[in-house]
Amino acid sequence: MIKFYFFLFLFPVLPNYLRTVPLSTNYIFWPVIMQIITQNTGETISGKILDAKTGMPVPYASIQLLATNTGTISDTAGQFILVLKAEHQRNLVQISAIGYKTRAIEAAKLLATSSEGKVIVNLMPVSAPLNEVQVKAKPQKFALKKVGSQIDKFTSFHHVFKSYVEKVDTTEGPEIGIPIYFKKYPAYLQNLNFCLTGSGAEETILSFKLYYLKNNLPAKRLNAQNIILKIPPQHTGWIEIDLKPYNISLQQDFMVALEWIKDGEQKEKAWLASPALVKPKEPVFYKRANQANWRKLESTTVGMYVTLLYSK
Sorted by where each begins, the domain ranges of the chain are: 3-30+133-311, 43-123
In 3D, which of 231, 241, 67, 75 has the Cα closest to residue 148? 241
In angstroms, the CA 141 to CA 120 distance is 52
Is the pLDDT at 42 greater than 80, yes or no?
no
10-14, 41-45, 213-217, range with the lowest pLDDT: 10-14
Taking only the tens place, the pLDDT of each residue in 68-85 is 878 888 988 999 998 888
Q: Are 164 and 225 in contact (CB under 8 A)?
A: no
> Which of the four pLDDT bands, split at 50, 70 and 90, describes residue 123?
very high
Task: Compute the average pLDDT of residues 192-221.
Answer: 85
- The rounded Cα 85 to chain-centroid distance in angstroms is 26
Q: Give the predicted TM-score (pTM) of the model.
A: 0.59
Amino acid at 296: K
Supply φ then ψ for residue 269, to 5 degrees: -100, 0
> Which of the four pLDDT bands, split at 50, 70 and 90, describes residue 199?
confident
Percentage of the residues of the chain whose pLDDT score is greater than 90: 25
- Which of the listed ranges 43-52, 220-229, 263-272 does the model predict with the highest average pLDDT? 43-52
The three-state secondary structure class of 267 is helix
> Which of the four pLDDT bands, split at 50, 70 and 90, describes residue 152?
low
Is the pLDDT at 110 greater than 70, yes or no?
yes
Q: What is the DSSP string of 222-268?
A: ---S-EEEEE-TT--EEEEEE-GGG--EESS-EEEEEEEEE--S-GG
pLDDT at 168: 39
Taking only the tens place, the pLDDT of each residue in 250-287 is 999 999 998 877 644 545 556 667 776 766 677 888 88
103-117, 167-181, 194-208, 296-310, range with the lowest pLDDT: 167-181
For the chain, the first-to-last Cα distance in angstroms comes to 57
For 43-123, the fitting CATH number among 1.10.10.10, 2.60.40.1120, 3.40.50.800, 1.10.3720.10 is 2.60.40.1120
Is the pLDDT at 27 greater than 50, yes or no?
no
pLDDT at 33: 34
The pLDDT mean for the chain works out to 75
